[in-house]
Amino acid sequence: MWQDGRLYLANNIVAHIPFHFIRLTFYRNVMKASIGEGSSIFMGAWFDTPGGLVIGKNTTINQRCRLDTRGTLSIGDNVSISAEVCILTASHDIQSVGFDGMQEAVTIGDFAFIGTRALILPGVAIGKGAVVAAGSVVTRNVEPYTVVGGVPARAIGSRSTNLDYNARYRRLYQ
């Protein structure tokens, strides 16, 4: 009952409070997320379970992102995740007679950029400095500094390996 209550509060009330410090305090203390200094989670984020979320420093998760933490989700430093991105860490074994659940961790490396409405499937690792184009469906690991796009996502380019920026971004009421 407590877990369901926590999720209800996180997804339906706290996610819509227009102040970062209130949301981050709730996510850290009640949802048991580890969120680094300077990082932010904009309004409308959706969680599937408490715990299992680690976010580095100066990372921005924009509005209405789904953060499935059932199989653990680790996001590095200076990562920019655009609006309405869906990151899944759990699914079902469609070959299982009992339709058994499966959980696989997702990791996103430092300086990665995930475009709007991208979908990252369970078990995927996004390398340091990698870019996922908007609307892509990532079914496989993405090598560091690689740009991927499409459905399913495939390599379409590369990115400079000399990255040195701060992805911290906050707006007053987001």
Q: Is the peptide bond before 122 cis (omega within 30 degrees of 0)?
A: no
Q: Give CA torsion, residues 3, 89, 74, 51, to 10 deg.
A: 10
CA 4, 74, 167, 39 torsion: positive or negative? positive
CA 162 to chain centre: 24
* Three-class secondary structure of residue 2 per DSSP: helix
Q: Are 70 and 103 in contact (CB under 8 A)?
A: yes
Instruction: Map residue 36 onto helix, strand or coil.
Output: coil
| Tokens standing for residue 108 | 């996103």
Task: Please indicate whether residue 16 is annotated as part of the active site.
Answer: no
Question: What are 67's two structure tokens?
Answer: 């953060």
Which position among 3, 17, 18, 92 bears the catalytic label? 92
Strand order in the sheet with 86-87: 46-47, 66-67, 86-87, 119-120, 137-138
Q: Which residues are catalytic?
A: 92
